[in-house]
Chains A and B, each alone.
Chain A
Amino acid sequence: DAGVIQSPRHEVTEMGQEVTLRCKPISGHNSLFWYRQTMMRGLELLIYFNNNVPIDDSGMPEDRFSAKMPNASFSTLKIQPSEPRDSAVYFCASSLGPGLAGGTGELFFGEGSRLTVL
């Protein structure tokens, strides 16, 4: 398997623009997570999906952030409008949850999308 695939790897945009980050989880995984990493705050969970359904979005900073998972192989994280304080590396991760056949809950990360908002 190719692992978790994220795009774009780098995004530079101006304040007020819409940003869409994309993620393809590992095939067969049933849980998908979006994280944000900054030097100041470390790794923060934004939202996670189980079987394509958002379970916990309490980490989403504000209404400017939204995430969707229309099917088991694709998810998006959208920021509209973007602000300079949104600059960070955004990671997508997936896992096969415990309780499912072969599921250990081991979490696998993508390479991340580095967002810079000017």
Chain B
Amino acid sequence: KQEVTQIPAALSVPEGENLVLNCSFTDSAIYNLQWFRQDPGKGLTSLLLIQSSQREQTSGRLNASLDKSSGRSTLYIAASQPGDSATYLCAVRPIGYSTLTFGKGTMLLVSP
């Protein structure tokens, strides 16, 4: 059974810092991996989707990498801003399945 772990569970940084959020998964047979952002009281917003054949994806100040062999993905946020404060979740889609397995998320607080 696929398990997804996100470390740390919470992170607090001052504005302007570059930071890395970690996601690990137990079964490397994945079709893709997706990073989401969730603001309090809101739904999940898709940030980046990495297909299993890809090593990384970039969107603005966000960069997500994927290392299937080690079962790891990282989300890099450059020059963090208070508006980046949210919970970040990663989810993997196993090969042959249509459903995603989610981590429990990392709650990020960026202080001005």
Contact = CB atoms under 8 A, between A and B. Distances in A.
Interface residues of B, number: 21
A56 B100 CA distance: 13
A42 B102 contact: yes
Main secondary structure of the interface of A (DSSP, over half): strand
Given A43-B102, A45-B99, A50-B98, A107 B42 contact: no
Main secondary structure of the interface of B (DSSP, over half): strand
Contact of B42 (A33, A93, A95, A112): A112
Given A43-B89, A91-B43, A112-B43, A107 B34 contact: yes
Contacts of B42: 111-112
Interface of B: 31-32, 34, 36, 41-46, 49, 51, 89, 91, 93, 98-100, 102, 104-105
